[in-house]
A and B are shown apart, each in its own frame.
Chain A
Amino acid sequence: MQLYLPIADIPVNVFLILAMGAAVGFVSGMFGIGGGFLMTPLLIFVGIAPAVAVASVASHIAASSFSGAISYWRRRAIDPLLALVLLTGGTLGTALGVWTFTLLRSLGQLDLMIATSYVILLTTVGALMFWEGLRALLRARRGGPVTTRRPGSHVWIHGLPLKMRFKRSKIYLSVIPVVVIGLIIGFIGAVMGIGGGFILVPLLIYVLRVPTSTVIGTSMVLTLVTMVFATMLHAVTNHLVDAVLALILMVGGVTGAQFGARAGQKIRGEHLRLLLGLLVLAVGVRFAVELVIRPEDLFTIRETGVTG
Chain B
Amino acid sequence: MTLRLILMLGWLALGLALAASPARAERLIVSVSNHRVTVTPNYSGEELVLFGSVEKDANTPANRTYDLVVTVAGPRADMVTRRKERRFGIWINTDSRQFLGVPTYLALFSNRPFDAIASPEVQRRQQLGLNNVLLTQRVGPDYADVVPDDAFRSAFVRLRKQHGLYREETSAVTFLTPTLFRTGIPLPAEVPIGLYNVEIKLFADGALVAKTDTAFEIVKVGFEQFVATTAQQHGFVYGLITAFMALMTGWMASIVFRKD
Chain A residues proximal to chain B, CB less than 8 Å: 1-4, 6-7, 9-11, 59-60, 62-71, 74, 108-109, 111-112, 116, 227-228, 231-237, 239, 241, 243-244, 246-247, 250-251, 254-255, 257-258, 291-295, 297-308
A300 nearest CB across to chain B (Å) = 5
Contacts of B251 in A (CB 8 A): 66-67, 70
Cα–Cα, bound, A305→B228 (Å): 16
B98 touches which one: A66, A250, A297, A304 (CB < 8 A)?
Answer: A304
* Residue from B44, B220, B224 having most chain A Cβ neighbours under 10 A: B224
B224 touches which one: A4, A62, A111, A292 (CB < 8 A)?
Answer: A4
Beta-carbon contacts of B138-162 to A below 8 Å, as 1s and 0s?
0000000000000010011011100
- Could you list 5 examples of A-B contacts with CB < 8 Å? A59-B243, A62-B246, A246-B245, A247-B245, A292-B91
Cα–Cα, bound, A11→B41 (Å): 8
B231 touches which one: A59, A69, A109, A235 (CB < 8 A)?
Answer: A235
**In the assembled complex, B25 has its CB within 8 A of some CB on chain A:** no
Contacts of B11 in A (CB 8 A): none
Contacts of A250 in B (CB 8 A): 245-246, 249-250
Number of B interface residues, CB 8 Å? Answer: 63
Further 5 A-B residue pairs, CB within 8 A, beyond A300-B159, A306-B77: A11-B44, A247-B245, A291-B90, A301-B160, A303-B78
Do residues B190 and A10 form an inter-chain contact, with CB atoms below 8 A? yes
Beta-carbon contacts of B244-260 to A below 8 Å, as 1s and 0s?
01110111111001101
Do residues B236 and A235 form an inter-chain contact, with CB atoms below 8 A? yes
Do residues A307 and B76 form an inter-chain contact, with CB atoms below 8 A? yes
**In the assembled complex, B89 has its CB within 8 A of some CB on chain A:** yes
Do residues B42 and A3 form an inter-chain contact, with CB atoms below 8 A? yes
Do residues B81 and A300 form an inter-chain contact, with CB atoms below 8 A? yes
Contacts of A116 in B (CB 8 A): 90
B93 touches which one: A109, A294, A305 (CB < 8 A)?
Answer: A109
Do residues A63 and B224 form an inter-chain contact, with CB atoms below 8 A? no
B112 nearest CB across to chain A (Å) = 31
**In the assembled complex, B54 has its CB within 8 A of some CB on chain A:** no
Q: State whether A7 and B243 are in contact (beta carbons under 8 Å apart), knowing that A302-B80, A306-B77 are contacts in the complex.
A: no
Cα–Cα, bound, A247→B250 (Å): 11
B188 nearest CB across to chain A (Å) = 10
Do residues A232 and B249 form an inter-chain contact, with CB atoms below 8 A? no
Cα–Cα, bound, A300→B164 (Å): 15
Contacts of B253 in A (CB 8 A): 63-64, 67, 254-255, 257-258
Do residues B159 and A241 form an inter-chain contact, with CB atoms below 8 A? no
**In the assembled complex, B189 has its CB within 8 A of some CB on chain A:** yes
* Residue from A69, A74, A227, A228 having most chain B Cβ neighbours under 10 A: A228
Do residues A63 and B249 form an inter-chain contact, with CB atoms below 8 A? yes
A246 touches which one: B240, B246, B254, B260 (CB < 8 A)?
Answer: B246
B156 nearest CB across to chain A (Å) = 6
Do residues B242 and A246 form an inter-chain contact, with CB atoms below 8 A? yes
Contacts of B245 in A (CB 8 A): 59, 63, 243, 246-247, 250
